[in-house]
Chains A and B, each alone.
Chain A
Amino acid sequence: MSAPTTERTGGGAVQRGEPILTVRGLEKHFPIKGGGLIKRTVGAVRAVDGVDLDLYPGEVLGLVGESGCGKSTTGRAILNLQPATAGSVVFQGREVVGLSRKQMRPLRRDIQLVFQDPYASLNPRLPVFDIVAEPMIIHGLAKDDTQLRAKVRQLVETVGLNPEHTNRYPAEFSGGQRQRIGIARALALQPKVLVLDEPVSALDVSIQAGVINLLEDLKNELGLSYLFIAHDLSVVRHISDRIAVMYLGRIIEIAERDELFSRPAHPYTQALLSAIPLPDPRRERARQRIIITGDVPSPANPPSGCRFRTRCQKFANVLTEGEREVCMTVDPKLEERGTGHLNACHYAETTSVL
């Protein structure tokens, strides 16, 4: 463990200076329009419904959850790509929510996004040189053509590609190489924070490993902070310092990496961890699995009280009638509950599931 990591204690409580990014009460609701001639809003999909996060300089914060939990929307709302419905996002001391596109532009130099699908996120009609150079041209970062060329060359080398190939088009590269191009583009403005939205989930494992190693190197060499959004907990464990678990638009548990994996407290985190198959036949077959039943409820109409109670094994099998009443009526806040880190379960208990 490196020195800065040991300074931190218990989950959210961090003592390593000011956060570079602070998110409070972030909400992103998508309106549901009713039928008829005049479209009226009849409800809202509460994709993100009150998210609090802090990202510290030099840190990798993993944001995990299953499809539809709101993790990608959170990333986009933080970048103001989809304006938040409510809440606050403070980046380097400046409030982001409510800024216009023009006002956002100077901030974008310092916070950049890497997309999931390297086949859709690169313009197929632009050669790689133009793709990587575009942000620098927009922000006027290169004085002349020579300087621009030198910068692109350096970026492309940094991500482990051959600078001779910058006149090629994205279609001529494999998935892993394209993702490296996407990373080079994100780094072009020398940002301080990267929001990585499932950056390796479209890649085969042998290629994925190379991109993960690259991201680790870049972080260490350039002193970046990452908000690393992914559904693959193995990848997240590998790269993150802290991990936040999302369920139905909320963060339900947040802890230091090893703390989360060795002592998960929320029943959902426990089920999620126990569902991951281990590539180790003896251990995999000796495991006891917590199988959660049913599907994720609609974010347009989340359950009352605790959002996870409809699928919670603890709620179904362990709790008494009186305790269930609390789950059904009281919305659990994300707080320290004697488990050493923050979680949102009334009856949180740490247990080992791996």
Chain B
Amino acid sequence: MSTLGTTGPGTSGATAVGASSTGTSTGTLSQAGSRMTSLGGFDPAAPLLQVSDLNVRFPTEDGSVHAVRGVDYALRSGEVLGIVGESGSGKSVTSLAVMGLLPQSARVTGSVKYRGQELLGQSDRSMSRVRGKGVSMIFQDPMTSLDPVYKIGYQIEETLRSHDKSLSSKAAEARAVDLLELVGIPSAKDRVRSYPHEFSGGMRQRVVIAIAMANQPEVIIADEPTTALDVTVQAQIMEVLQTALQETGAAMVLITHDLGVVAGIADRVLVMYAGRPVELGSVEDIYYEPRMPYTLGLLGSLPRVDSTNRERLTPIQGSPPSMVNMPPGCPFAPRCPLHIAECDADEPPLVQVGPAHNAACIRTDEVARAHGRAAEIFNETADDAVLSASALPADLATGDGAREATAPGTPPPSQTEAGAGRSDTGSVVSTANTAPTTGTTNGDRA
């Protein structure tokens, strides 16, 4: 534990998580620790993955869709960073950009450094040496992320041998069996010769995790790894992910829309809205003392399975903005209950509001007073008292900043809400296609 402590606060947090939530032996943990300190020639206190001012634009007929607008984060050894946000917030596009997996048409600027080495602009060939070995990825849909025509054993061995040419096929197969056992696939010796269709969704996701951890990567990016799965299977897969982290000592970026999943595993949380980080802090900061109204609103929208009182939920009014031709000012302002005139002047930068806690809002002090209770700030507006006739017609025409706005200029943003994960790229583009090119009642709504 003491060696871990020197690698930074994130690391010790990760250890505590692993120990408390799964009760694993300290044996695996110290193994992870020794691996971390063995990163030769690399300062263990420096971030493993450093993303700075990352911007991603997709050209479309209606103009450039600015899907990711200046994302900065640093991932330290052994920590788990949760990235949360709704469909179209740019969380998946960010990770695809890090992996160099975006389509050719995407324009990516900024910097992504893995162990000090710039990844942006590298050829596909040299990226292939990093992918899987340095940084590996777990995708949302285990039904499509495995190749249906190859046996799963072959797919694992391929990953192993593409990074270690000297590995014999016999050794690769033995390692594949080990990996499958590690991720909890029963009778792994026989199952290596199975095809993906012979596995259930949960079992396939285990195979995907086995592939992701095959080469002992230092960073695992998991993009909605449990979204396609049932809740009991999700619990199994989260356990497997914990195992994978302990075995490899890897740091993880966990992208999800599920605030419950993040609460259980993350050390730090990054909240994204409209392509930008709007709040970054420790998991406790984010859940108990959020400073950005959007974070607070998200927490208030969640029905709680552990609460006996039936408080009304506090939905966030309106919908996320279109990513084409965004107006100046805070992108959350049209939906924000604390909105004031200054919010429309400039987009607020991410400012420090506490130790290792940043929020992009000019009214963080007001948000702080709510102490995580959304109802303090998010009052239900006339919109939700749907049947009180008096509230209805008057404010309809103006929009009033309430209501899931059908105001032109705020086009339907979420064409693919269900497929929040990998399809984000597509959804951003398709959103753009439906976006009217002109017209903004946005101004008077704001």
Stretch at the interface among B64-72, B128-136, B149-157, B314-322: B314-322
Note all chain A residues with C-beta closer than 8 A to B300.
209
The answer to the question of B352 belonging to the interface, with a C-beta cut-off of 8 Å to chain A, is no
CB distance from B184 to the nearest CB of A (A): 8
CB distance from B252 to the nearest CB of A (A): 16
CB distance from B223 to the nearest CB of A (A): 17
Contact B396 A174 (CB under 8 A): no
- Name B230's contact: one of A66, A279, A282 (CB within 8 Å): A66
Contact A204 B404 (CB under 8 A): no
CB distance from B117 to the nearest CB of A (A): 33
Tell whether A209 pairs with B313 under 8 Å between CB atoms, given A204-B87, A278-B263: yes
Q: A221's closest neighbor in chain B, by CB?
A: B387
Contact B263 A217 (CB under 8 A): no
Contact B235 A291 (CB under 8 A): yes
The proximity string for A residues 146-184 relative to B, scoring 1 for CB distances below 8 Å and 0 otherwise, is 000000000001111111110010011111110010000
The count of chain A contact residues (Cβ–Cβ below 8 Å) is 72
Tell whether A177 pairs with B412 under 8 Å between CB atoms, given A117-B418, A213-B313: yes
Note all chain B residues with C-beta closer than 8 A to A238.
303-304, 310, 313
The answer to the question of A38 belonging to the interface, with a C-beta cut-off of 8 Å to chain B, is no
The answer to the question of B234 belonging to the interface, with a C-beta cut-off of 8 Å to chain A, is yes
The answer to the question of A144 belonging to the interface, with a C-beta cut-off of 8 Å to chain B, is no
Note all chain A residues with C-beta closer than 8 A to B384.
160, 210, 213-214, 217
Cα distance A295–B229 in the bound complex, in angstroms: 11
Note all chain B residues with C-beta closer than 8 A to A316.
none
Q: B316's closest neighbor in chain A, by CB?
A: A206
CB distance from B283 to the nearest CB of A (A): 5
Q: B282's closest neighbor in chain A, by CB?
A: A281
Contact B86 A231 (CB under 8 A): no
Cα distance A174–B410 in the bound complex, in angstroms: 10
Contact B404 A209 (CB under 8 A): no
Cα distance A282–B257 in the bound complex, in angstroms: 19
- Name A281's contact: one of B287, B315, B417 (CB within 8 Å): B287
Tell whether A162 pairs with B386 under 8 Å between CB atoms, given A284-B264, A295-B203: no
Q: Which of A285-299 contact B (CB under 8 A)?
A: 285-286, 289, 291-293, 295
- Name B304's contact: one of A176, A234, A262, A286 (CB within 8 Å): A234
Cα distance A73–B257 in the bound complex, in angstroms: 28
Note all chain A residues with C-beta closer than 8 A to B239.
291
The answer to the question of B202 belonging to the interface, with a C-beta cut-off of 8 Å to chain A, is yes
CB distance from A86 to the nearest CB of B (A): 28
CB distance from A233 to the nearest CB of B (A): 5
Q: Which of B265-287 contact A (CB under 8 A)?
A: 283-284, 287
Q: B319's closest neighbor in chain A, by CB?
A: A174
The answer to the question of B231 belonging to the interface, with a C-beta cut-off of 8 Å to chain A, is yes
- Name A204's contact: one of B86, B236, B383 (CB within 8 Å): B86
Contact B306 A354 (CB under 8 A): yes
The answer to the question of B6 belonging to the interface, with a C-beta cut-off of 8 Å to chain A, is no
Q: Which of A209-265 contact B (CB under 8 A)?
A: 209-210, 212-214, 216-218, 221, 231-235, 237-239, 258, 261-262
- Name A258's contact: one of B21, B303, B308, B315 (CB within 8 Å): B308
- Name A66's contact: one of B231, B236, B299 (CB within 8 Å): B231
Note all chain A residues with C-beta closer than 8 A to B306.
261, 278, 280, 283, 354
Note all chain A residues with C-beta closer than 8 A to B158.
none
Between-chain CB contacts (< 8 Å), 6 pairs: A157-B392, A175-B412, A207-B404, A279-B259, A280-B306, A354-B305
Given pairs A261-B308, A281-B288, 18 additional interface contacts (CB within 8 A): A66-B231, A66-B232, A67-B230, A119-B415, A168-B406, A180-B404, A205-B298, A209-B315, A238-B310, A262-B308, A276-B260, A277-B264, A279-B260, A281-B264, A284-B264, A285-B263, A292-B236, A295-B233
A-binding residues in B (CB < 8 A): 17, 20-21, 86-87, 200, 202-203, 230-236, 238-239, 257-264, 283-284, 287-288, 297-306, 308, 310, 312-317, 319, 380, 383-387, 392-393, 396-397, 403-404, 406, 411-415, 417-418, 420, 434
Q: Top 4 nearest A-B pairs by Cβ distance? A: A277-B260, A209-B315, A238-B303, A210-B315
